[in-house]
A and B are shown apart, each in its own frame.
Chain A
Amino acid sequence: MEVPILKQGPYLIASIQSALSDNDMVRLRDALVEQVGRFRSRGVIVDVTALDVMDSFATRTLRDLGRMIRLRGADTVIVGIQPEVAYTMVQLGLTLEDIATALDLEEGLALLERKTTAPGNETSSRGR
């Protein structure tokens, strides 16, 4: 199943609508890493509201995604993790350490807005 990637101003939004296979997950990661350069995006939001399970592969892929996007010069925010999912994840030791998280899409956009416009922030001082 293909995950639609929407371009919204300087950001890319990928909204996962149903459970994804490992392959789909990797494909989403590759597509985002590619498009973030193509559209010169400043941030990426992955919305996982619809997921009621996050296994170790999905978590690792999201973490890798965040690191790759970082190297491509943008920020990543994972939004919409359900309370039950969050609880299960930490019990399994899956904590998405260096990735920003937010409650929902709105919060995620606000977070990116703050990150990319904050004074002294490397993403805003970057020439584009």
Chain B
Amino acid sequence: MEKVQAMRRTSIESVQATSELFRELVEHLRQSRTQLREEWAQRITEAQLLTAMSKEEIFAEATSVYDNYMEALKTGTFEALQAYARNLSERIIPRGVETREVIGIVLLLRDVLARSLFAKYQADFALLNRILDAYEPAANRIAITVAVGFVQERERVIREQQEAIRVLSTPVLQVRERLLILPIIGVMDPQRARQLTEQLLRGIRTNRAKVVVIDITGVPVMDASVANHLVQTVEAARLLGAIVIITGLSPEIAQTLVMMGVDLGKMNTVGDLQGGIEEAERLLGYKVAITGEASDHSLRG
């Protein structure tokens, strides 16, 4: 019993001692705020970090980071700092600031402060040790909080963009009764190729399509797996009773596909989208004729 009380007393004492140290630490940071902040901003510039920002901006951000840093040390809570880190990331990510830079500046601040502690307490080694014991874990946690906040924000932005691309990427359009076109723009990866197949097959069913023109003019490169996927798409569409015409194969893609030995024998290919649609119309039995009436009007309008 006595032992437990004694332990509790020690732990209370040590907590008090630690908070005492923190108070001293924060007091020190407050007193040397101007000098340390300048030193930090100076070192950021020297290390060529945050090159996307002007000197004034760096100084302004450095000030708020410094104050938030002090606040986190004082209160021992990291919520405010987390919120600030997120907010900061939101502002600097669009300007092209990299993870390396953010981690770099936080570590620089940690170094600058540690140096100032060394300078101040160099006479009393035992006290310096205790101060560093209190300071280091807190400083590390702050560094982690800011870095993780930045990375999370970055990942959120990436996720949002991926989602946006995913939604935009594969429209299935009906141009005529029973004729669908699928313009594909951008790089194809296996995930996108799979999604495309699913959308196409569903589109064939809902639009009762007989012919589908897949236009890949906007696809810069294609690897073997995506090419094979395209072949599979053509076959799956055939199982639903639809004919697929591929248009707009660039010379580069044609070369790669032949060099890789992808079997395109079953594929129906036409040079460009216009040719593809004409071929599709022929397959569907359409005959497009120029009447000479509407064109005059529409050209004038």
Contact = CB atoms under 8 A, between A and B. Distances in A.
A, B assembled together: yes
Interface of A: 78-79, 81, 83-87, 89-91, 95-96, 101-103, 107-108, 111
B240 A83 contact: yes
Interface in B36-91: none
A66 B274 CA distance: 36
A107 B201 CA distance: 16
Contacts of B235: 90, 95
A81 B241 CA distance: 9
11 contacts: A79-B241, A83-B236, A83-B240, A86-B239, A89-B239, A95-B238, A101-B238, A101-B240, A103-B208, A103-B242, A107-B241
B115 interface: no
Tell me the dominant secondary structure on chain B's binding face: helix
Interface of B: 197-198, 201-202, 204-205, 208, 210, 232-233, 235-242
Contact of B236 (A78, A79, A87, A111): A87
B204 A83 contact: yes
Contacts of B197: 87
B182 to A, nearest CB: 15
A90 B239 contact: yes
B242 A86 contact: no
A85 B141 CA distance: 52
Contacts of A101: 238-241
A103 B212 CA distance: 13
Contact of A90 (B204, B210, B236, B241): B236
A106 to B, nearest CB: 9
A18 to B, nearest CB: 20
A7 to B, nearest CB: 23
A83 B241 contact: no
Nearest to A79: B241
Contacts of B242: 103
Contacts of A78: 239
B240 A89 contact: no
B236 to A, nearest CB: 4
A38 B233 CA distance: 38
Contacts of B233: 90
Contacts of B202: 83
A90 to B, nearest CB: 4
A103 B236 contact: no
Nearest to A111: B241
Contacts of A90: 232-233, 235-236, 239
B285 to A, nearest CB: 10
Contacts of B238: 95, 101
Task: Indicate the member of A79, A83, A101, A111 with the most B CB atoms within 10 Å.
Answer: A83
Contact of B232 (A83, A91, A108, A111): A91
A83 B208 contact: no
Nearest to B203: A83
B239 A96 contact: yes
